[in-house]
Every structure is written in C-alpha cells, then in structure tokens.
A = this chain, B = another copy of it.
Amino acid sequence: MNATLPTHAGEAVRVEGWIHRRRTFAGLTFLVLRDRSGLTQAVVTDGSTRRQVEDLPEETVVRVEGTVRANPKAPGGVEVIAPVVTPLSPPASPSPVELWRPRLDAALPTLLDHGAISWRHPAQNAVWQVAAASLRGFRQTLDAAGFTEVATPKVTATASESGADVFSVDWFGRPAFLAQSPQLHKQVLVGVFERVYETGPVFRAEPHDTARHLAQYTSLDVELGFLEDHHDVLAVLRDVLAGMAAAVAEQVGGGTRPPGLELPVVPAVVPVLHFRDALRLVGADPEEPDLAPEHERALSRWALREHGSEFLAVEGYPAAKRPFYTHPQPDDPRWTNSFDLLFRGLELVTGGQRLHRHADYVRALTARGEDPERYRSYLDVFAHGMPPHGGFAIGLERWVARLTGLDNVRRSTLFPRDLHRLTP
C-alpha cells in the first residue's frame, strides 16, 4: 500500500503510478496502483470511469485523484474512492511477464531479456533496495572510520590480476584492458590517503557459465595501511559487514521485504580457520591448492555448528594459488596472510595483507616468470615509502543473492553481463 496514504483519511489525494491490476465485479472495479511506496487500491463505481479503466491495460501510467477512505479490508487499511483517472502514458502493450502475480514465475532468460520490466515486480524491486541499502551501509561505515572514497581507471595498459580472463579494448588504436579489479590502484593510493574505498564495476572475461559468475559485477573495494597483518583487515571487514547488515535491516523495516530475505547476525569476531585445517576438516587431500564449492558449503555448516556464525574466514591460502601481491605467512612462506570469507556456503570476500616493499614485488614477479617491467608504473610507487597494508573486495551481487536466498547472481543484478548476455 502507499505508505503516505493512511495519514490522509477523508482528504483529497493524488497518486501517480502504474496500473498494477484491475479487478471487475458486478457493481465496481478495483484499480490497484503501484508506485515506489507500494500498492494503492482505488474503488471505481462510476460507469464512465469503469469503462475508461477497462480500456487501460496493466502497466499503463496514470494519475488518480480521489478521496481517501478507511477500509480495514483494503491493503494498508485505506482506499481511494470516487477516483478521477488521467492517463500519463499511452495504453501499455501486454507485459512479457505478469507483474501482478504474487510471484514472478517466468523463466530466468525471460526475466533477464525484459529486466527493466521484471524489476518492477515489488518482490524483485525489493531485492535491489537491499543492494542500495548495502552500498549505503558500506560507505557510512568506512566514512566514519576515516576512509576516503576514490575512483580508479577502468581501462589500463596492464592486466591487474595476471593475464587471464581479461577483456581487450581498442584505446585510440592502442591495445588496452578492462580493469579486473582496482587492486594495484587502490594499493598505491594507501600511500596518499592511508585508507581508501571504491564501489564500482569490475570486469572478468570468465569463460564460466555458472550461477555465481558475472562478466561485470560491482566490487566493494577497501584498502588500508599501517596494520600488523591480515587480522587487522578482517576486523575492518567485520565492521563493514555489520554496517551493511544494519542498513539492510533499516531499509526493509520501512519498505517491502524480499520474500527470501534472512538478515545475518555478524559476530563480534569472525571465526578464523587456517586453510590447512580447513582441508583436514572436510577430509580433502592435504595437497589440494584450493577449496571446492562443496568444501565451502561444508565449512560454512561447520562454522554455524561450532561457532554459531554464518561467516567464516579461511586464512593462509597456498602462495601458489594467490596473486603475486599477496604477503606470505611470515613463519611459513608456503602459506599466505590472505583469506576468503565464506558466507552461507559461498565465497563472498577475498582479502589479505599485501607486499609493501619494492624488492619483494620484483622477487615475487620474477619467481612467477613475469616481467616486473610490465607493472612498472605501479611498482615504482613501492620504492617511495609504502606502509604495511592490506584490504578486501566484496562482490555486491553475491552478497545480495545470499542475503535474499536467490539461487543465481543474475537475479540480484539489474542488467547482467555474461558469456552470452550483452543486452539489454
């Protein structure tokens, strides 16, 4: 229902929105109007207005002017009577998805082909309100902690995360790449601002066609200097997640709640498990270099059982599987000061401590058979005084999908881009 109406019982009102549904009975027609605050029911009894409304298909945009009347049986306890209806758009063509149904049951490709229509459904709209609230909570938490928001280039001369899975751009005739992450830029900006964040698009030419990969997604990036190790990064991550969860709770308190939403409880301290112990716990080969999706699910179940936590940080990932900028574990360089954060069975965040000495970068790249010269414009900065630092990146669409119980990140992305999809 329209959140602002109940205060106006007995008064004249004007509501503008979309015809969500018309229902015709013997002596009257119900006109249900949808706007950003919800649904409003208008009761049409006048004969010519009934005929007018019958000619206005669902999704036509109209202005309704009438009088508010209390009615305990109407949505929200009020309805609009004696409405005068003025169309604000031509009569709408038949919708490719039936928005008036309680659940959108169209197939995923249909929903995505008509994204700007599908998202009008109140339950789908509410999913994106969760995303917007998450962004708000993310920024508020970091602004309060002395972080500076930055904007980094999305086209670069060098791939940031080694050469794989990168899109090529023709830059005035020169070869260039879409940024896979703001990684190297956010790191060198620690030298300027100490603590930085960015919310923006990142691009992965993922050949995977799965329910959790997108070719463009929104990355919530954080980087901070002057830390002991990756546990300081985890402490900031914990506060950020708590801030995001609180902003979502506030949002759904005042608006529509996505049907599958389950708000998480962020523990005061996120439990941490070493990668080596994680492998043992799930019964995997101790030489495995990474966690399989079923391992991540098993570890999440374990954290919930043992620690009552929906969040689990797995630290110490093997150096061989982490990017060149990852800081080794000081007492055993086979492992690293890095972590993945698992949330409800899925990797949601990657983070850790980075190298901060120029010589360490040259060594790390050389050991991987990469030419440090390719990274020169970033690496040079590390010769000019960089503090110990680290950071993390949260995938917004994964966070929202986990929070709202969606089985595919495409359902928490307004206009997904993937191996097959380049429109709308």
Total copies of the chain: 2
Are the C-beta atoms of B192 and A386 separated by less than 8 Å? no
CA distance A62 to B204 in the complex (A): 38
Verify if A289 is at the interface (C-beta below 8 Å from B).
Answer: no
**CB-nearest residue of chain B relative to A197?**
B132
**CB-nearest residue of chain B relative to A413?**
B151
Instruction: Identify A192's interface contact among B119, B152, B185, B216, CB under 8 A.
Output: B119
Are the C-beta atoms of A167 and B167 separated by less than 8 Å? no
**CB-nearest residue of chain B relative to A377?**
B424
Are the C-beta atoms of A154 and B216 separated by less than 8 Å? yes
Interface residues on chain A, size class: 35 or more
Contact string, A178-209, partner B, CB cutoff 8 A, digits 1/0?
Answer: 10000001001101111100001101010100
Q: Which of A60, A114, A150, A218 has the most CB of B within 10 A?
A: A150
Are the C-beta atoms of B422 and A387 separated by less than 8 Å? no
Instruction: Identify A148's interface contact among B129, B139, B215, B424, CB under 8 A.
Output: B129
**CB-nearest residue of chain B relative to A188?**
B116
A337 to chain B, nearest CB (A): 16
CA distance A128 to B185 in the complex (A): 15
Q: Which of A36, A151, A169, A356 has the most CB of B within 10 A?
A: A151
A133 to chain B, nearest CB (A): 9
**CB-nearest residue of chain B relative to A94?**
B384
In A35-77, the 8 Å CB interface with B consists of: 35-36, 59-61
Question: Which residues of B have CB within 8 Å of A88?
Answer: 226, 387-388
Instruction: Identify A125's interface contact among B95, B139, B152, B192, CB under 8 A.
Output: B192
A422-B174 in contact given A35-B194, A415-B185 (Cβ < 8 Å): yes
CA distance A203 to B169 in the complex (A): 12
CA distance A195 to B125 in the complex (A): 13
A229 to chain B, nearest CB (A): 13
Question: Which residues of B have CB within 8 Å of A139?
Answer: 136, 139
Question: Which residues of B have CB within 8 Å of A384?
Answer: 59, 92-93, 95, 117
Verify if A357 is at the interface (C-beta below 8 Å from B).
Answer: yes
Contact string, A127-154, partner B, CB cutoff 8 A, digits 1/0?
Answer: 0110110011001000100101111111
A147 to chain B, nearest CB (A): 9
Are the C-beta atoms of A16 and B89 separated by less than 8 Å? no
Are the C-beta atoms of B423 and A152 separated by less than 8 Å? no
A203-B155 in contact given A150-B128, A167-B169, A168-B170 (Cβ < 8 Å): yes
Verify if A270 is at the interface (C-beta below 8 Å from B).
Answer: no
Question: Which residues of B have CB within 8 Å of A392?
Answer: none
Binding site for B on A (CB under 8 A): 16, 18-19, 35-36, 59-61, 88-90, 92-93, 95, 113-114, 116-117, 119-120, 125, 128-129, 131-132, 135-136, 139, 143, 146, 148-158, 167-172, 174, 176, 178, 185, 188-189, 191-195, 200-201, 203, 205, 207, 215-216, 218, 226, 356-359, 377-378, 380-381, 383-388, 396, 414-415, 417, 419, 422-424
Besides A116-B185, A136-B143, A176-B422, 6 other A-B contacts (C-beta < 8 A): A88-B387, A95-B384, A120-B191, A156-B422, A167-B170, A188-B424
Show 16 A/B contacts (Cβ-Cβ < 8 Å), sorted by A: A36-B146, A36-B148, A36-B194, A89-B356, A90-B357, A92-B384, A95-B384, A116-B185, A120-B191, A128-B192, A135-B149, A136-B143, A150-B414, A152-B414, A154-B201, A167-B169
